[in-house]
Structure 1
């Protein structure tokens, strides 16, 4: 079985295992959960907190608004929101990837820049995303370029790029510095400049490090886009659906789980899309030592 087939089988098996554990928890654990010393140590498993999987799947085919003139199913609403969020997440991944690669190139070229900038790059990821989102939305509201006003979706894309930037920058830097000293010295002995060494040696050697970093960045961009949609109130995405369905969770908790399921599938789709990059760069897999 090829590596890609194993990946598909593993992903499906993980979903099946999650479903089995979910239903097993509902069967074994008490509906009110388990409380020890006034502290709940195991969650409630009644239908108001943990609906059955088949109940959640059944909600996907039901109309989103009962009695509406134009009937749209919950599944169609979740799919539309997921596609909207996917577009913003991929835009953020592209923006964060470009910035991350450029910074990694500068840090590899000038070690002083690496020593000065890398600690701040790492520290930037300790800032809570939920605190950054309102600031980005507020600053963006004051931007107007050639008659174009800043849109809420632009804030979501910038926030997604903030999370995607870090793994790509670190992975790219590690890949650029991965060639062994003997190979670097060989290029120097052949009077190769920095650009030739970069294109012929460092970039091919960085592929095995960059592809996993981009896959991680894609999943992070999806998380950033969803959190940004919730924080900024941007409509049209899966994050907004989660908020809207959560407000009616008391009467219909299974509908909220349809949006959560859509967000989970969205993350898998984004990470799987990076597999196309992996296929295109397969010839460089053996570059790392």
Structure 2
């Protein structure tokens, strides 16, 4: 009797390759550029036609279309004008020059990071208090929600004047205003995250005579990490907006808000748009940095990664 053949080891099936991200991103960027170019064409058409008439040239459609892309002070600058201004602001001057976008971005980033730290710590502390003390939840949570109904443009001058009267100027007032926009999403997200563990898990910890700090450190905090980082991504973007808004009423001489203000004073729309693009890029980099910190933290803690739980 011949022995039965041993079964061949099963070969794991190979996952199908995921679609690349380059094509979708390129398609969105191309759509934005096309829409932007059309908006510049339409917004600048009448101004370009008038300029040709004043120059004694025939206002033909082709000439007008070409002129809309080269106006010195357009209503809506063309994409290539903004890109050229950003390139000149980043690489055309030393980073210590007040004409450098890198210099202004660094000034804004400094206040943003300080405000982000203040707002994050405050939001986490409020969330811990709200989860553990019902009286704090009943007394503070309505005021926390109501605080976000006040426009930041109304809050910023009040904070700057009050802190200035107390002798605090420069970076701190801008950081406080940025923290005002930052702490709310962190508080709400952390309240949800710290409450995420099931009651049966909390009861099990209590049967082991775990104290509230131990339950917080070993059960609530690990469960809240995905909620925390999702909130931080929202908070860091709002924080940057708060910093830029805080730079406007102070008449600041440095920062992306100062670039926006100077551009509006002198009608330099290309400079305004370049500062907006720089702010958008800076915000994307900050959100990406939080995402990298999330992946590293969840990997180190053994939790599911931010990429949908894949290892």
Normalised TM-score (structure 1)? 0.81
Q: Name which of 120, 141, 151 aligns with 1:118.
A: 141
Task: Report the alpha carbon displacement of residue 29 of structure 1 after superposing the two structures with TM.
Answer: 7.8
| Pairing 1:180-219 to 2, within 5 Å after superposition | 180-219=198-237
> What is the TM-score with the length of structure 2 in the denominator?
0.75
Alignment of 1:92-241 (within 5 A): 92-143=115-166, 149-241=167-259
**2:277 aligned residue:** 261
Measure, in 1, the Cα distance between the counterparts of 2:80 and 2:98: 14
Structure 2 spans left out of the alignment, 5+ residues? 1-16, 48-67, 307-311
- Once the two structures are TM-superposed, the CA of residue 218 in structure 1 deviates from its matched residue by 0.1
1:8-50 deviation digits (Å, cap 9, x = unpaired): 87666544432222124445788359xxxxxxxxxxxx55212
Look up the SS of the partner of 1:127 in the other structure.
Answer: coil
Counterparts of 1:29 and 1:139 in 2: how far apart (Å)?
Answer: 42
Higher relative contact order (CA 8 A, sep 6+): 1
Equivalent residue number for residue 58 of structure 1? 84
- Counterpart CA distance in 2 for 1:24 and 1:214 is 36
Assess if the C-alpha contact under 8 Å between 1:245 and 1:259 holds in 2: no
Counterpart selection for 2:289 from 255, 270, 273:
273
Change (3 A) 1:11 1:105: farther
Contact 2:178 2:242 (C-alpha < 8 Å) held by counterparts: yes
Q: Cα RMSD over matched residues?
A: 3.1
Contact 1:104–1:169 (8 Å) recurs in 2: yes
CA distance in 2, matches of 1:232, 1:13: 40
- The equivalent residue for 1:18 is 32
The change in CA–CA distance for 1:187 and 1:274 in structure 2 (over 3 A counts) is same
Unmatched runs of 5 consecutive residues or more in structure 1: 34-45, 65-69, 144-148
The answer to whether the aligner puts 1:31 opposite 2:45 as a matched pair is: yes
Q: Work out the CA distance in 1 between the residues paired with 2:198 and 2:280.
A: 40
Distance of aligned partners of 1:9 and 1:276 in 2 relative to their CA distance in 1, 3 Å threshold: farther
The question of whether the paired residues in 2 share the 8 Å contact of 1:177 and 1:202 is answered with yes
Q: Any idea what SS the aligned residue of 1:191 has?
A: coil
Distance apart, 1:208 and its partner CA = 1.1
The structure that has the greater radius of gyration is 2
Q: Is it true that 1:87 corresponds to 2:110 in the alignment?
A: yes
The alpha-carbon deviation at position 229 of structure 1 amounts to 0.2
**Does residue 96 of structure 2 align to residue 78 of structure 1?**
no
Seen in structure 2, the aligned counterparts of structure 1 residues 286 and 84 have a Cα distance that, compared at 3 Å, is: closer
Q: How many residues get paired?
A: 262
Q: What is the distance in 1 between the residues matched to 2:214 and 2:189?
A: 21
